[in-house]
Amino acid sequence: MTATLRVAVALFCLIAGAIEVSHRASAADPQLLPGTRVTLDLPPGSVVSRSGDQSVFLVQPLGMKIRIKEGGPELDELEHKMSKLSARAFRQGKLARSDTYFYFWWPGSTVDKTGRPIKDLASAEFHLVLSVKDQVTAIIVNVPRAAIDAGKINVRDIEDILATARLVPPAAGAEKSKP
């Protein structure tokens, strides 16, 4: 392959990657989760509905479950402890965010970090903890391993969604979540 052709191929790959990232960003559908201060850019066609509990939402067609926990500094401490002490082998990660956050995830498995079997853990789990002053919000996303294994969504997609998480001021969130 000539040097010119290699440069052309490299430029094409660079441009194609930029177009994909731009398309992914523009294809997002920002949604305020009703009754919360959390907005997320969800994939086009996502339908969010509340599951029995006020703080649990289902996102179809992916079967994704989003839980919102709100509290004070003790919630932040709890999430940090869980990332280290859980039987699940959580991994800390980084998101494309400029604020202060804590992020960890677990790809889903049938065994814990000691190799013992775990039943009913057919979902990957992603935790994003945002702290604003003394208010802490934890966004926990569970995604069925079947959806990931089938290629319907991947870890990068989920991390892209979590990177868009924003907290709206309480008054604005209360107004927007009314039907």
For position 82, what pLDDT does the model report?
Answer: 83
For position 91, what pLDDT does the model report?
Answer: 86
Quickly list DSSP for 61-102: TTTEEEEEEEESHHHHHHHHHHHHHSSS--EE---S-SS-EE
For position 110, what pLDDT does the model report?
Answer: 60
pLDDT band at 53 (very low <50, low <70, confident <90, very high): low
Instruction: Give the type of residue at 146.
Output: A
Q: Over 90: is that where the pLDDT of 175 sits?
A: no
For position 130, what pLDDT does the model report?
Answer: 94
In the chain, % of residues over pLDDT 70: 69
pLDDT band at 25 (very low <50, low <70, confident <90, very high): very low
* Segment 112-141, tens digit of pLDDT: 667 766 655 578 899 999 998 888 999 999
pTM over 0.85: no
Domains of the chain, earliest start first: 29-176 (3.40.1000.10)
